[in-house]
Structure 1
Amino acid sequence: MDKIQKSVGRGCINRSEDVKLIQQMLNSAICSIKLEENGKLNQNTIAAIDYFQRLYLGIKPDGRISPTGPTFTALELKYQKPYCETYSIALPASNNGSKLTAGDFDMAAKKLGCEEACIRAVTDVESKGGGFFPCGKPKILFEAHIFSKKTFHLFDKGYPDISSLKWNKALYVGGEAEYRRLEKAMTINRQAALESTSWGLFQIMGFNYSASGFSSVEDYIQAMFESEGKQLLAFVTYISRTGLVAYLKSKDWKSFARAYNGSKYAENKYDTKLEVAYKKYNIKK
Structure 2
Amino acid sequence: MRTIKLGVKSSEVYYLNELLLKLKYSVIVSDSFSVATDKAVRDFQLKNSLVVDGIVGLKTWSTLIEKSKNGFSTNNKLLSEQDLIDFANEHDLELAVVKAVNEVESGGKGFLVDGRPKILFEGHVFWRQLEVRGINPGTYANANTRDILYENQTKKYYVGGAAEYTRLEKAININPDKRFSDAAKCSASWGLYQIMGYNALTIGYGTIDEFVEKMYLNEGEHLKAFGLFLKTNKLIGYLRDKKWADFALRYNGKGYRTNKYDEKLMKAYLKFRS
TM-score by length of structure 1 reads 0.59
1:167 offset after TM fit, Å?
1.5
Alignment of 1:63-78 (within 5 A): none
Using the alignment, how far apart are the partners of 2:100 and 2:166 within structure 1?
Answer: 29
Please name the residue that 1:231 is paired with. 222
Please name the residue that 1:12 is paired with. none
Which residue type is aligned with residue 178 of structure 1? Answer: E
Please name the residue that 2:270 is paired with. 282
Aligned with residue 204 of structure 1, among 195, 198, 201: 195
Please name the residue that 1:111 is paired with. 90
* Contact kept in structure 2, 1:121 and 1:274, CA below 8 Å: no
TM-score by length of structure 2 reads 0.61
Structure 1 residues 193 and 278, CA gap change in structure 2 (3 angstroms): farther
Structure 1 residues 95 and 146, CA gap change in structure 2 (3 angstroms): farther
Structure 1 residues 282 and 110, CA gap change in structure 2 (3 angstroms): farther
Which residue type is aligned with residue 203 of structure 1? Answer: Q
Structure 1 residues 112 and 259, CA gap change in structure 2 (3 angstroms): same
Secondary structure at the aligned position of 2:127 is classed as helix
Stretches of 4+ aligned residues off by more than 4 angstroms: none
1:115-145 deviations in whole A, cap 9, x for unaligned?
Answer: 3344334433444331111111111111111
Mark the runs of 5 or more structure 2 residues left unpaired by the alignment.
Answer: 1-71, 132-136, 175-179
Structure 1 residues 221 and 247, CA gap change in structure 2 (3 angstroms): same
Using the alignment, how far apart are the partners of 1:251 and 1:198 within structure 2?
Answer: 26
* Contact kept in structure 1, 2:172 and 2:184, CA below 8 Å: yes
Q: Alpha carbon RMSD of aligned pairs, Å? A: 2.5
1:191 offset after TM fit, Å?
0.6
Using the alignment, how far apart are the partners of 2:194 and 2:122 within structure 1?
Answer: 11
Using the alignment, how far apart are the partners of 2:206 and 2:96 within structure 1?
Answer: 30
Structure 1 residues 268 and 133, CA gap change in structure 2 (3 angstroms): farther
Using the alignment, how far apart are the partners of 1:209 and 1:112 within structure 2?
Answer: 20
Number of matched pairs: 189
Using the alignment, how far apart are the partners of 1:255 and 1:184 within structure 2?
Answer: 38
1:147-169 deviations in whole A, cap 9, x for unaligned?
Answer: 01112342444422112222212
Using the alignment, how far apart are the partners of 1:197 and 1:161 within structure 2?
Answer: 14
1:278 offset after TM fit, Å?
4.7
Please name the residue that 1:256 is paired with. 247
Of 219-228 and 232-241, the range deviating more from structure 2 = 232-241
Aligned with residue 122 of structure 2, among 126, 143, 160: 143
Please name the residue that 1:185 is paired with. 171
**Bigger Cα Rg:** 1
1:268 offset after TM fit, Å?
6.9
1:283 offset after TM fit, Å?
1.0
Using the alignment, how far apart are the partners of 2:141 and 2:105 within structure 1?
Answer: 27
Using the alignment, how far apart are the partners of 2:262 and 2:119 within structure 1?
Answer: 19
Please name the residue that 2:134 is paired with. none
Secondary structure at the aligned position of 1:190 is classed as helix
Alignment of 1:1-285 (within 5 A): 96=74, 97-152=76-131, 153-154=137-138, 155-158=140-143, 159-188=145-174, 189-262=180-253, 265-266=255-256, 269=259, 272-273=260-261, 275-285=263-273
